[in-house]
Amino acid sequence: MVESSAPRITHVCRVFQLLPDRGVVGVTAIDKRPVDGKVKVGPLGLYADVQADRAHHGGEEQAVYAFANEDVTVWEEELGREIAPGEFGENLRTEGIDTSNSVIGTRWTIGSAEFEVTIPRVPCSTFARRMGEDKWVQRFTENGNTGTYLRVVRKGSIQADDEISVTSVPSHGVTVKDLFTGPTREQAQALLDAERAGEVQLTPKVVREINRVM
């Protein structure tokens, strides 16, 4: 049997337990761990998953967080230890797709669900406490490969080893990483033009970033 080279999900992760945290909410749902079998996906993400701090995580525009195995490998080499699936708080551990360099508005079909690339993950103090690594927020920021949040376009179900089919890519060319590192004025204008043309639906956070540079 010939193995498929198509992009795929290697793990589907959701909250295992809420942990005490020094943040505003007092608890964190960053402890995500792999689950077996099919998992339902709705507008707010994976069934039975949760985000403790809804002001900064979750909602329809940050329903699912995807992070690439390829970027995990880089961090494992730098940190000298294994990073278990879900340790970054990701819902989807992927393989064969560059999550951080995905174009804003790109559509993925996984299982019977469809997703849309929305915004980068911004590292926070909760993430730093989770990792327990010196100057983690600074290091993660400087690396720039944040993975991506996804909007659920069509509800359905997914499971580990499902292929990721990229069904459409907007022509504006601005990526998640571009947005995270700071878009140029030209990139900001390209996003606005794409929205006016009906090619992409920008989130409020993207619009705020655009307004910052225009």
- Residue 32 predicted with pLDDT over 70: yes
User: In the structure, what pLDDT confidence band is assigned to residue 5 with cuts at 50, 70 and 90?
Assistant: confident
Taking residue 86's Cβ as centre, other Cβ atoms within 10 Å add up to: 23
- Residue 2 predicted with pLDDT over 80: no
φ/ψ (deg, to 5) at 98: -85, 90
Instruction: Give the model confidence (pLDDT) of 45-88 as tens digits.
Output: 999 987 756 666 678 999 999 999 999 999 999 999 999 999 99
28 strand-pairing partners: 19
Taking residue 57's Cβ as centre, other Cβ atoms within 10 Å add up to: 21
Residues contacting residue 209 through CB under 8 Å, at least 6 positions apart: 179, 182, 183, 188
Q: Which domains does the chain have, with CATH numbers?
A: 8-170 (2.40.33.20)
| Distance in angstroms (rounded) separating the CA atoms of residues 66 and 44 | 14
| Distance in angstroms (rounded) separating the CA atoms of residues 64 and 90 | 8
- Residue 1 predicted with pLDDT over 60: no
- The alpha helices in the chain, defined as continuous H runs, are 69-79, 125-131, 136-143, 176-181, 185-196, 204-213
Taking residue 38's Cβ as centre, other Cβ atoms within 10 Å add up to: 16
